[in-house]
Structure 1
């Protein structure tokens, strides 16, 4: 495990790695629903379409080779919206994980496409609006965490970057929190995990005594709740949503999770607190002196 330098650029493996899905860790959730460890090569668009139809009601939707988009000429979101076909590059980790997220979060992914299209129709596709920027950030890097009122302190710890307390001292609580990766770029970069791998935390608050369903019903449950949130623009633009989350710190998602690991402030960075108005005034006066 090496630290990721500022100037380095992540490159995913070129080969198919079925062993990723046979070991406990960050990919365990995907391995529970898709026979990825049994595949001898990257799943084809046809196989992924079969999985989509198996897990969702999107029976008229399909995955297709991205060359169809290239030949078509339409904008990516427009192509999906009008054709109900989701283009993907073959033998590509990023697009494979994107397809699997479609299988697990069909309502939210459909809705995100609709929200992108509404923004494009209103503002054009040249420049991304704030709403589209937030949608993309969630789409690529989002991690959904459902918390009850009695667990709210965990959310406060995470947003305040109290990493050792949140991840290490309260590690047993994470089995109840059921963190779920939504961002497919998270999965892609986890194929070669590095110190610096960070997702974006999206919180969904639950009633205190609500039950979190197990298995695929749990994903359906979160998909319904997330879709209800996405139509609320104020939530997308809320700065408390999509706060940083060091992915390798989530209990069970990485092997080396002792107390010393969480003490590495180059990865588990303390939060930078903005100075209050009096401190800012003093600093300004000092700069002028």
Structure 2
């Protein structure tokens, strides 16, 4: 008899836990940016809107979208209201990303609507797929001039060279920032195999020492401009795989070099793709 293999769907924790967030370095930026620690239960819509002082949107209960009947992106575009489900990790993180990146999130929404106007809701264009991939799974790799080499190392899966040999560069001249709210959701129950999509952005020298407010404000403005100009997301060298738990400081086990020897997680670049990558670097 053939064995049936059932792939388990990821399930986040069923209950609210501010301790879960405050004790994991993956959520440090969120805990420092928002009053999460005092929460003893799921935040309500009022809490989200209190956080949204610099956004152009308002958070509303998801029941408004259900009653309205419009498509999610269309509803946000037309009303500047973001439907948010109660007691839901995915929407909790989605709301906080709206607060941290208001310009970029609003731009992604406008681009979705432009693509829908051109191709309809059911036919997803390449750009819409890229927008969704970044929105759900993106991690921005901020590179100061001294750390530019890491873009090539990570794109070509030279994990050892970036994460181990040049480990001292991380958080000194290279800073990762989570953008994808699905990545945040999965980080509530991290597992070996958790993989994000890396978007490489050049930042000024000293960026890694900036305050969170200044750093996120710069990124929001910078990314929204680059995406609007059409030169960021369509680039095939962007949104490359990033084994999230390999980022120094984000996972306790990666302080041991042996952690990076798991080639099922830290996969080498396929030979054909490696030749293509190296060829593009020579152009």
TM-score with structure 2 setting the length:
0.90
Does structure 2 conserve the Cα–Cα contact (< 8 Å) formed by 1:10 and 1:189?
yes
5+ long unaligned stretches in structure 2: 277-283
Q: Distance in 2 between matches of 1:87 and 1:8?
A: 28
Q: What SS does the corresponding residue of 1:30 show, helix, strand or coil? A: helix
> TM-score, length-normalised on structure 1?
0.88
Of residues 198, 201, 206 in structure 2, which corresponds to 1:204? 201
Q: State the number of aligned residues.
A: 268
The residue aligned with 2:281 is none
1:20 touches 1:27 (CA, 8 Å); kept in 2?
A: no
- In structure 2, what is the equivalent of residue 131 of structure 1? 127
Task: Quote the offset at 1:232 in angstroms.
Answer: 3.0
Query: Based on CA coordinates, which of the two structures has the bigger radius of gyration?
Result: 1
Matched residue SS, 1:233: coil
SS in 2 for 1:244: strand
Task: State the secondary structure of the residue aligned to 1:27.
Answer: helix
What secondary structure is seen at the aligned counterpart in 2 of 1:32? Answer: helix
Matched with 1:286 is: none
Structure-2 change in CA distance of 1:206 and 1:34 (3 Å): closer
- 1:78 & 1:246 partners in 2: Cα distance? 33
Structure-1 residue corresponding to 2:280? none
* Corresponding position of 1:281: none
Aligned equivalent of 1:183 = 180
Q: CA separation in 1, counterparts of 2:132 and 2:233?
A: 11
- Provide the alpha-carbon RMSD of the alignment: 1.8
Aligned twin of 1:25: 25
For residues 44-76 of structure 1, what are the alpha-carbon distances to aligned partners after superposition, in whole Å with 9 as ceiling and x for unaligned? 1111011011xx143xx2111111101100111
Q: Select the residue among 257, 260, 267 that pairs with 1:259.
A: 257
Aligned mates of 2:270, 2:8 — CA distance in 1: 24
CA distance in 1, matches of 2:68, 2:124: 22
Match of 1:104 in 2: 100
Structure 1's consecutive aligned runs of 4 or more residues displaced over 6 angstroms after TM superposition are none
The SS at the match of 1:225 is helix
Deviation at 1:43, TM superposition (A): 1.1
Q: Which residue of 1 aligns with 2:74?
A: 78
**Structure 1: 5+ residue stretches without partners:** 278-289
1:180 alignment partner, SS class:
strand
Aligned partner of residue 171 in structure 2, secondary structure = helix
Mean Cα deviation higher: 151-160 or 90-99: 151-160
Contact 2:19 2:37 in 1 (8 A): yes
Whether 2:240 is the aligned partner of 1:243: answer yes
Q: 2: CA distance between counterparts of 1:271 and 1:85?
A: 42
> Which deviations, in whole Å up to 9, do the C-alpha atoms of 1:117-151 show, x marking residues without a partner?
11111211111110110000000000011213431
Asked whether the 8 Å contact 2:55–2:99 carries over to 1, the reply is no
Please tell me whether residue 194 in structure 1 is matched to residue 191 in structure 2.
yes
Q: Is 2:83 aligned against 1:87?
A: yes
